[in-house]
Amino acid sequence: MRCESRSGSGTLQIQRLTPRMSPEDKVVVRPAIRIAGSVRPPGDKSISHRYAMLAALAPGRTRLQNFASGADCASTVACVAALGCQVQREADRVEIEGLGPQLHAPAAALDCGNSGSTMRMLAGIVAAQPFACEMIGDASLNQRPMARVIAPLTKMGARIKAAQGERPPLRIQGRQLKGIEYELPVASAQVKSCLLFAGLLAEGRTTVIEPARTRDHGELALRAFGAEIQTETKTRGSASIVGGQPLHAVEAAIPGDISSAAFFLCAAAVLPGSNLIVDEVLLNPTRAQLLDVLTQMGARVSVLNIEDRHGEVTGTLQIEAGMLRGARISGALTAALIDELPVLAAIAPFTERGVEIRDARELRVKESDRIAAVAQNLRRMGAGVEELLDGLIIPGGQQLHGAELESAGDHRIVMAFAIAALAAEGESVICGADAARISFPEFFEMLERVSER
pLDDT tens across 67-90, in order? Answer: 999 999 999 999 999 999 999 999
Secondary structure element (H or E) that encloses residue 63, with its range? strand 60-65
Q: Where are the beta strands (DSSP E) in 251-293?
A: 251-253, 275-282
Residue 343 φ/ψ, nearest 5 degrees: -75, -35
| 118 alpha carbon, distance to own chain's centre | 11
- Annotate 218-243 with DSSP letters as a single string: HHHHHHHTT--EEEE-SSS-EEEEET
Residue-by-residue DSSP string for 130-166: SSEEEEE--TTGGGS--HHHHHHHHHTT-EEEEETTT
Nearest to 412 by CA among 75, 72, 79: 72
Contact between 148 and 117 under an 8 Å Cβ cutoff? The reply is no
The domains of the chain are located at 12-43+255-452, 45-253
The answer to whether 12-43+255-452 and 45-253 have equal CATH topology is yes
For 216-354, list the strands marked E by DSSP: 229-232, 238-242, 251-253, 275-282, 300-309, 312-320, 327-329
Cα Rg for the chain, rounded, in angstroms? 21
431 Rama class: left (phi>0) / alpha (psi -120 to 50) / beta:
beta
Pair 448, 12: CB distance under 8 Å: yes
* Whole-number Å distance between alpha carbons of 213 and 77: 28
pLDDT (tens place) for every residue of the chain, 453 residues total: 345 433 333 334 333 322 233 445 899 999 999 999 999 999 999 999 999 999 999 999 999 999 999 999 999 999 999 999 999 999 999 999 999 999 999 999 999 999 999 999 999 999 999 999 999 999 989 999 899 999 999 999 999 999 888 999 999 999 999 999 999 998 899 999 999 999 999 999 999 999 988 899 999 999 999 999 999 876 678 999 999 999 999 999 999 999 999 999 999 999 999 999 999 999 999 899 999 999 999 999 999 999 999 999 999 999 999 999 999 999 989 989 999 999 999 999 999 999 999 999 999 989 899 999 999 999 999 999 999 999 999 999 999 999 999 999 999 999 999 999 999 999 999 999 999 988 899 999 999 999 999
Tell me how crowded residue 86 is: count the other CB atoms within 10 A of its CB: 12
Residue type, 441: P
Q: Quick one: fold of 45-253?
A: UDP-n-acetylglucosamine1-carboxyvinyl-transferase; Chain (3.65.10)
The answer to whether residue 339 is catalytic is yes
Residue 333: left if φ>0, alpha if ψ -120 to 50, beta else—which one? alpha
- The whole model's pTM is what? 0.89
Q: Report the b/e string of 193-202 with b at 16+ CB within 10 A.
A: bbbbbbbbbb
Q: Are 92 and 63 in contact (CB under 8 A)?
A: no
Annotated catalytic residue within 25, 339, 410, 434:
339
User: In this predicted structure, what is the pLDDT of residue 24?
Assistant: 52
Q: How far is CA 136 from CA 10, 115, 160, 411, in A?
A: 39, 10, 13, 20
Q: What integer pLDDT is reported at residue 165 of this predicted model?
A: 83
**Secondary structure (3-state) at 104:** coil
- Going by C-alpha positions, the residue among 322, 303, 323, 321 that lies closest to residue 313 is 303
Residue 16 has what pLDDT?
31
SS3 276: strand
Which SS3 state, helix, strand or coil, does residue 313 take?
Answer: strand
- 12-43+255-452 under CATH 3.65.10.10, yes or no: yes
Q: Determine the pLDDT at residue 329.
A: 98
Position 3 scores a pLDDT of: 58
